[in-house]
Structure 1
Amino acid sequence: MTHSDIQIAIIDYPGAMQSALMGLQEMFTLTNGLCDKNSHNARFHTTIVNETSRQEASQDQTIYQVVIIPPDLGGCFHSKPSGTLTNWIHVQHQQGAIICSSCAGTLVLAEMGLLKNRRATTHWNLADKFNDLYPETQLDVEKILINDGDIITAGGLMSWLDLGLELVAQLTQPCIMRQLGKLLIVDTGSREQKYYQSFSPKLDHGDKAILKAQHYLQTHYAQPVSVSQLAALSCLTERTFLRHFVQATRHKPNDYLQRLRIQKACDLIESSAATFETIAMDVGYEDNSAFRKTFRKITGLTPSEFKRRFA
């Protein structure tokens, strides 16, 4: 069987929780065995990245699909992160890597400017500090994990387990994630619902022009967006942009935007008491009927059915 390699970088910074670094490595190693058992062609490769290794970045040609910032055990790195590492993380994000954090690691992403106008979570004890420093981030500390497409944040010190399970489900199959949970004796029930409803856009396709458009949509999904606008943003003609977008994402721009909006709506239904009409407006729909029709087409449920089942 030919394997599809998934390269994962785990950042080892001063004060990083070492059990999280080792634990994530071991989770992905166990997942490789489960993938073989289930005839799934994914193969995880993990690399521990620190400041010294990043000084040799010019010699490193590895393309990472995922970069993980683990919890901080009381250090100050998250307040003043190293420019060497943060610059490297920015480059990986621009190349299509999913950037992940756990606990105080979320403050590193906020300090880098990656969480402006984004939903994110962190440890509940850091909420006041986080809100004071980064008011433009929509912090929700009631969530253990928030998957926002190209950025995934997790809450408490042990939330790296939830993060690892989320990545396994997203990059392989939900059934492999459940098998991993049973092997580790970790409860995966509350996560399973989200896996089936989650829209996880492809970001590691290598087309930087299309990736720029995807990053724009991730933060402007509620606004009217035209193909001509996205094409101009990508410095491409409309015809070329459409061809590249479908090749890179496997979706037409309008379908991509609708799926992104409905995923945002699902998150809001699960996490708030807002009315469907309010949620429809928040994610970019002025017509409630169109919202309900699109919601059912994508999720297979009406908004009311979704709320009863998952909220």
Structure 2
Amino acid sequence: MKHISILVPKGNSSLTNIDGTQQIFAETNGILASMDQEPLFEIQLVGLEHNTIQRNGTVTIDPDVLIGDVKKTDLIIIPAMFGDPSNVNERNADFIPWIIDQHSRGAEVASFCIGAFFLAATGLLKGKQCATHWRMANDFRRLYPDINLVDGKIMTAEDGIYTSGGAYSYLNLVIYLIEKYAGRSVAILIAKAFMIDIDKHSQSPFIMFEGQKAHEDEPVKKAQEFIEKNFDDKITVDQLASMLALGRRSLERRFKKATANTVTEYIQRVKIEAAKKGFETSMKNINEVMYEVGYSDIKAFRTVFRKVTGLSPVEYKNKYNKTLMSA
């Protein structure tokens, strides 16, 4: 039997992550029982103190056990933990050596959404891929540059360390873990019972590109603002460098450092974000939207659009256009 430790952190954490994970693993045991099989999971809420206050006192969770009571576990679940990461880490610092010790003795570790910030603080993600909520991607990269953040993925799995992307994508990671431990057929039954898309792998269609401006490089900010105001024109790196009186190589180096995108990637993402809004709110066809955001080559537009969103322009329009959805 696999022992699952669902952490109950101090402060404000995702009750949905905690309760939902417990419910789904418990239901897996129920399905196995209906198939005349032994339960596979022992599930415990594990905390630092009894009667752990959540949501500024509106909710209290009494963990099943405290970390000192758990001598050996097989899977540690870290829910999303809200608030300034440094404060969250400080309040829950006693979890960190316990997680590291359990992992050294064979435990796997999974984080949900922005719980990745806490997992990163253990050092176990260093050099590995990681997913988190796309809105927090830039902050994560700034705090943990030695971790390979893949903000388009719904989940990652590497050497017994698992992470999931934003919000309810934790469900996809839970299903993945159930498939790993209990097999594909059981995972399919659970996915159907909870109406979870079992093979969803990308959060790219949900990402809203807002530009990374939490930096102090003023020339780069000016370049970003120019791109965002003139996305329908053909903008070149040389044009921006000349405008800012910088060398091309210097601009490219500074831009990448400040925004985590190359200049070309940033231009593409701004154009595609504008195209997405066009598809969501108008009945214009693909070519009309393409021309409006400054593309003239349909093949190039489709290629970049799919690279950024994970969907073709037609698929995106059909999925998100309000008029088509209500028809």
- RCO (CA 8 Å, sep 6+): is it higher in 1 or 2? 1
2:18–2:79 CA contact under 8 A, matched in 1: yes
Is 2:19 the partner of 1:22? yes
User: What does residue range 11-90 of structure 1 map to in structure 2 within 5 Å?
Assistant: 11-13=7-9, 14-52=11-49, 57-58=67-68, 60-74=69-83, 76=85, 78-80=88-90, 82-90=92-100
Is 2:128 the partner of 1:118? yes
Residue correspondences, number:
187
Deviation digits for residues 175-204 of structure 1 (CA, Å, limit 9, x no counterpart): 10010011111221336xxxxxxxxxxxxx
3-state SS in 2 of match to 1:63: coil
1:78–1:104 CA contact under 8 A, matched in 2: no
2:134–2:165 CA contact under 8 A, matched in 1: yes
* Of 1, 6, 12, the match for 2:2: 6
Is 2:160 the partner of 1:150? yes
Deviation digits for residues 221-263 of structure 1 (CA, Å, limit 9, x no counterpart): xxxxxxxxxxxxxxxxxxxxxxxxxxxxxxxxxxxxxxxxxxx
Change in Cα spacing, 1:190 to 1:83, as seen in structure 2 (3 Å) is: closer
Let me know the Cα RMSD of the aligned residues.
2.3
1:145–1:152 CA contact under 8 A, matched in 2: yes
Is 2:170 the partner of 1:160? yes
Deviation, structure 1 residue 115: 1.1
Q: Which amino acid aligns with 2:7?
A: I
Change in Cα spacing, 1:81 to 1:130, as seen in structure 2 (3 Å) is: farther
Between the aligned partners of 2:194 and 2:133, the Cα distance in structure 1 is 23
Deviation, structure 1 residue 112: 1.5
Deviation digits for residues 30-52 of structure 1 (CA, Å, limit 9, x no counterpart): 10111123344442111111112
Is 2:103 the partner of 1:107? no
3-state SS in 1 of match to 2:200: helix
Deviation digits for residues 42-83 of structure 1 (CA, Å, limit 9, x no counterpart): 42111111112699644x254211000011244645454522
Match of 1:244 in 2: none
1:168–1:177 CA contact under 8 A, matched in 2: yes
List gaps (5 residues or longer) in structure 2: 51-62, 202-327
Change in Cα spacing, 1:139 to 1:61, as seen in structure 2 (3 Å) is: closer
Is 2:179 the partner of 1:169? yes
1:70–1:105 CA contact under 8 A, matched in 2: yes
Deviation, structure 1 residue 109: 1.4
Is 2:199 the partner of 1:189? yes
Between the aligned partners of 2:37 and 2:110, the Cα distance in structure 1 is 24
Identity fraction in percent: 27
3-state SS in 1 of match to 2:2: strand
Between the aligned partners of 1:183 and 1:70, the Cα distance in structure 2 is 22
3-state SS in 1 of match to 2:124: coil
Between the aligned partners of 2:93 and 2:171, the Cα distance in structure 1 is 28
Q: Which amino acid aligns with 1:168?
A: I
Deviation, structure 1 residue 29: 1.0
List gaps (5 residues or longer) in structure 1: 192-311
1:51–1:84 CA contact under 8 A, matched in 2: yes
Q: Give the greater-gyration-radius structure (CA).
A: 2
Deviation, structure 1 residue 137: 0.6
Q: Which amino acid aligns with 2:8?
A: D
Deviation digits for residues 71-121 of structure 1 (CA, Å, limit 9, x no counterpart): 124464545452211111111111111010011111111112111111111
Between the aligned partners of 1:181 and 1:132, the Cα distance in structure 2 is 35
User: What does residue range 201-212 of structure 1 map to in structure 2 within 5 Å?
Assistant: none
3-state SS in 2 of match to 1:83: coil
Q: Which amino acid aligns with 1:161?
A: L
Between the aligned partners of 2:15 and 2:114, the Cα distance in structure 1 is 14
TM-score where L is the length of structure 1? 0.56
User: What does residue range 212-223 of structure 1 map to in structure 2 within 5 Å?
Assistant: none
